[in-house]
Amino acid sequence: MDKRRLEAFSDGVFAIVITLLVLELRLPAVTYDALGRSLLQLLPAISAYALSFLLIGMYWVYHHHAYTFIDGVDGVLLWLNIVFLLLISFMPFPTMLLGRYPGQTLPVVFYGCNLLLANLHGLAMLLYLKHAPQLASRRLTPVLFRRQVTVYIVVNSLYLANIGLAFLLPRVAMTIFAAMAVYLMVRSAMVMGIGTCVPSEPLVHAGESSVAPPRSGPHVLVSE
């Protein structure tokens, strides 16, 4: 499987699910007089729509970023990716729950679990690259590897804590999810660079070529 074909397929799934979200915005058949109130009642659903749209957009940016660490795709990375796409494609369902039952525990828990599982993909991919370093790009230096693993563990721990919080204070937990989303979006924009055309590649050590190296040659990840 060519890495580029897997990326094109994933981009397709991202583009479709992000666009399908709107179909879950169902307006009950009301008379025009009641339309204003119906639209107001749809506000939580529209907010959930916007949040999921931006989150899936963020996962798309993140996915693109993650694949700059990879030179080749094997059967395991392929299926890790398909399971990741399953979790992303599932998001319209908890998004619909959030819109229908605003401020309730179960939808927030469901939504949080979906985010958590989708997020675990990045961690699983990194850990697998540790065992199959010949698939990793030289850009994934040991320093960068540790930093990335740390970020994933911190974010996932926050997600987990927040899921717990949803049992007590669902509205607060939901607000924290939204705040985390905004933070991760801003962060993704900063990783992409502000005002510069630097492609979304991880920081590399000075003197290291930014061009993708051939697969031969020692991989820094294992030589650590």
- Min dist. Cβ of residue 191 to a copy of itself (A): 7
C-beta atoms surrounding 194 within 10 Å: 8
CB 146 within 8 A of CB 109: no
Q: How far is CA 148 from CA 4, 38, 125, in A?
A: 23, 45, 11
At 194, list the tokens: 């502000």
Q: What is the 8-class DSSP label of residue 202? A: -
| Residues facing residue 70 across a β-bridge | 136
84 vs 159, beta carbon nearer a copy of itself: 84
Name the residue with tokens 């705040």.
179
In three-state secondary structure terms, 114 is helix
157 vs 210, beta carbon nearer a copy of itself: 210
195 — alpha (psi -120 to 50), left (phi > 0) or beta?
A: left
Name the residue with tokens 């049992």.
167
Amino acid at 101: Y
- Min dist. Cβ of residue 123 to a copy of itself (A): 19
- Min dist. Cβ of residue 116 to a copy of itself (A): 17
93 vs 160, beta carbon nearer a copy of itself: 93
144 — alpha (psi -120 to 50), left (phi > 0) or beta?
A: alpha
CA-based nearest residue to 92, from 13, 181, 20, 177? 20
123 vs 191, beta carbon nearer a copy of itself: 191
149 vs 201, beta carbon nearer a copy of itself: 201
- Min dist. Cβ of residue 157 to a copy of itself (A): 26
39 vs 153, beta carbon nearer a copy of itself: 39
